[in-house]
Amino acid sequence: MKIVTILGARPQFIKAAPVCHALKQNGCEEILVHTGQHYDANMSEIFFRELSIPAPSVNLNVGSGGHGKQTGEMLAKIEEILLTHKPDKVLVYGDTNSTLAGALAACKLGIPIAHVEAGLRSFNRSMPEEHNRVLTDHCSDLLFCPTQTAVNHLAFEGIRNGVHLVGDTMFDAVLSFRELARSRSDAMKKFGLKPKNFYLATIHRPYNTDDPVALESAMKALGSLGHQVLFPVHPRTRPKLQSLSLASNIQLCDPLGYLDMLLLQEEARVVLTDSGGVQKESFFLKTPCVTLRTETEWVETVQAGWNIVTGVDSSAIQKAVEQFERNPPLTPPDYFGSGDAAARIVRILA
């Protein structure tokens, strides 16, 4: 079986790692295509090294740009790759422009599409990712859902054929790499941190970073917290911070690799983020999370009491952190499978 896998952003590299290893173990030929949507070394190359993913067979070097330009350029280049390699299936992950471009290119050529992390919905139609998810799901032949909630969303939209509840490959990755992170990462020492004595923050979504009022409110909340806040800054976020006066407890750093982030998420008191993947990883690592959005795709983390959705209202953020400090959540339920999602996916693909 020959599979072309389309990747473009750091969360996709993490989701793909367990599946790449399972495909190799099952004798499948996988051609990795990196669109170049994330092209900074700290956002891309380091993940392939740390996760032991083979170097991409093709790098399209699309880079940044408007949604239409970026997606269109990917679509044209991916189509050429598919015509050259003639795969049995195309494998896409998540909800980025790379995901949609890969699905559309395969759909037009009549190549079966497998979508990992299918069925997620935020019901926020202002998010480009929401449109990417919906369109990709309706193009796909095999839909690999991480949770029962995702299966239910697809059924509500009339998608029932080819739907498989497999669990979450990011959970597979956390289980596989957590011990490696503990033994190899020196992030705690590097940033002068002590376990459970700091907060970890990530902010990258355009509606938070491109709105000066929203970003200032978020940073005000971080500055009001009683401990040090480590803030790995996305390349597109850093210029927006230059006009703000940051509190002394906020420590900025460049984006970090997967192993460093895993360790820091596990050791933090609370994680504050607008990232979908970081919400889940915090849940897997039993660290409370405050989501700096008005909604989340990962409703299970909220239902279990490990995630509070606040938006960027500084008062709501402070109250959420205080709530976690006063009442630590109970052991999280097993919503995301048992750590064998990649093996299940490969069995179905084969």
Assign residue 185 the CATH number of its domain.
Answer: 3.40.50.2000
Domain identity same for 240 and 266? yes
Domain identity same for 102 and 216? no
The three state secondary structure string of 253-317 is: ECCCCHHHHHHHHHHCCEEEECCHHHHHHHHHCCCCEEECCCCCCCHHHHHCCCEEECCCCHHHH
Domain identity same for 299 and 218? yes
Q: How confident is the model at residue 46 (pLDDT cuts 50, 70, 90)?
A: confident
pLDDT digits (tens, 9 = 90+) for 173-203: 999 999 999 999 999 999 999 999 999 999 9
In 86-211, where does DSSP find H-type helix?
Answer: 97-109, 128-139, 148-156, 169-184, 187-190, 206-209
Q: Is residue 151 a part of any domain in this protein?
A: yes
pLDDT digits (tens, 9 = 90+) for 206-248: 889 999 999 999 999 999 998 999 999 988 889 999 999 999 9
Number of domains in the chain: 2
Residue 206 carries which side chain, given as an amino acid letter? Answer: P
Give yes or no for residue 39 having a pLDDT over 80: no
Q: Is residue 61 a part of any domain in this protein?
A: yes
Domain identity same for 152 and 244? no
Which residue among the candidates 138, 164, 204, 227 is catalytic per the annotation? 204
- Determine which helix (DSSP H) or strand (DSSP E) holds 116, and give its type and residue range: strand 113-116
Measured in degrees and rounded to the nearest 5, phi and psi for residue 267 equal -90, -10
Residue 74 carries which side chain, given as an amino acid letter? Answer: M
Mean pLDDT (the chain) is 94
Domain identity same for 151 and 182? no
Instruction: Give me the domain span that covers residue 17.
Output: 2-165
Residue 138 a catalytic site member: no
Domain identity same for 141 and 271? no
pLDDT digits (tens, 9 = 90+) for 114-164: 999 999 999 999 889 999 999 999 999 999 999 999 999 999 999 999 999
The pLDDT value given to residue 47: 75
